[in-house]
Amino acid sequence: MTRVTKGRGGKSVTLVKGLALDPLALAALGKQLRTACGSGGTVKDGVIEVQGDHCDRIIEALRKDGHSAKRAGG
């Protein structure tokens, strides 16, 4: 999981990568994470994008769901 601002007009986006899920399960998980953060986002090319810096909330939600999650980068 990383937080990115480059190429997004200065806005931060939290990216969740590396989940071995089929596209439908990935879309459902993306919806669940966006709801948990109260934010918008999308799923593109196997990567969940959530608008804003929500790393802590997403890590908590993923661990609650049984996924191993850790922060990458700064």
- Overall average pLDDT of the 31-35 stretch: 95
Is 74 within the bounds of a domain? Answer: no
- pLDDT value of residue 2: 84
Q: Which domain holds residue 37?
A: 2-64
Residues ≥6 apart with Cβ < 8 Å to 43: 23, 26, 27, 30, 49
Count of domains observed in the chain: 1
- pLDDT value of residue 35: 95
Structure confidence by residue, pLDDT tens digits, 51-62: 999 999 999 999
- Overall average pLDDT of the 18-45 stretch: 93
Structure confidence by residue, pLDDT tens digits, 3-30: 888 888 888 999 999 888 999 999 999 9
- Tell me the CATH number at 56: 3.30.780.10
- pLDDT value of residue 74: 62
What spatial distance separates the first Cα and last Cα of the chain, rounded to whole Å?
11
